[in-house]
């Protein structure tokens, strides 16, 4: 499999690879060879994945999981089965590295005084222009 070390010490024995025919590059060869790699990893039952990372993974990529709790990653970038398998493992490693640290909480900010004044001035201008479009008023 890949030379890439998976974060959190996830053993490659937890990963299951399968291969199928690819729709990618390869001409008529794609009709004969199974080069598309599909990686399955049981996220819910992984013993090495920290609980906080699991929670972030489920929140961010829950739609990519099967009903059984397996994360499915596919690759058909190349015409080579081994390189596609390595690409799947690299995609998983990149996904886990991105989730390794929690995101910083957003600090709410307020618009500056000049921005507020510009907005209100523009509102007054637009309101005045709309009022002037109407029928003339009779002031007696």
Question: Tokens representing 39?
Answer: 């990686």
Residue 96: give its domain's CATH number.
3.30.160.20
Q: Is residue 131 situated within a structural domain?
A: no
Tally of structural domains, the chain: 1
Q: Is residue 140 situated within a structural domain?
A: no
- Each residue's pLDDT expressed in tens, for the chain with a length of 140 residues: 545 578 888 898 899 999 998 875 667 777 788 889 999 999 999 989 999 999 999 999 989 899 999 999 999 998 889 999 999 999 999 999 999 888 899 999 999 999 999 999 999 999 999 999 988 777 75
Helix (H) or strand (E) holding 100: helix 81-100
What pLDDT score does 4 carry?
Answer: 56
What pLDDT score does 41 carry?
Answer: 95
What pLDDT score does 101 carry?
Answer: 87
Closest listed residue to residue 36, CA positions, set 48, 44, 25, 49: 25
Complete DSSP assignment for 2-13: -SPPPGGG--GG
Q: Is residue 65 situated within a structural domain?
A: yes
What pLDDT score does 22 carry?
Answer: 83
What is the Cα–Cα distance from 89 to 122, expressed in whole angstroms? Answer: 53
Count other Cβ atoms within 10 Å, centred on residue 10: 18
Q: Is residue 136 situated within a structural domain?
A: no
Domain of residue 46 covers 7-100
């Amino acid at each position: 499999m890949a030379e890439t070390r998976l974060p959190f010490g996830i053993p490659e024995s937890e990963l299951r690879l399968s291969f199928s025919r690819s729709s990618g590059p390869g001409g008529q060869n794609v009709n004969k060879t199974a080069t598309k790699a599909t990686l399955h990893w049981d996220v819910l039952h992984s013993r090495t994945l920290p609980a906080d990372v699991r929670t972030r993974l489920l929140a961010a990529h829950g739609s990519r999981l099967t009903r059984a709790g397996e994360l499915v990653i596919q690759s058909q970038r190349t015409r080579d089965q081994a390189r596609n398998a390595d690409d799947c493992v690299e995609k998983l490693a990149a996904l886990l590295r991105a989730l390794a640290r929690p995101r910083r909480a957003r600090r709410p900010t307020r618009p500056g005084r000049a921005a507020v004044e510009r907005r209100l001035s523009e509102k007054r201008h637009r309101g005045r222009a709309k009022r002037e479009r109407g029928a003339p008023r009779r002031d007696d």
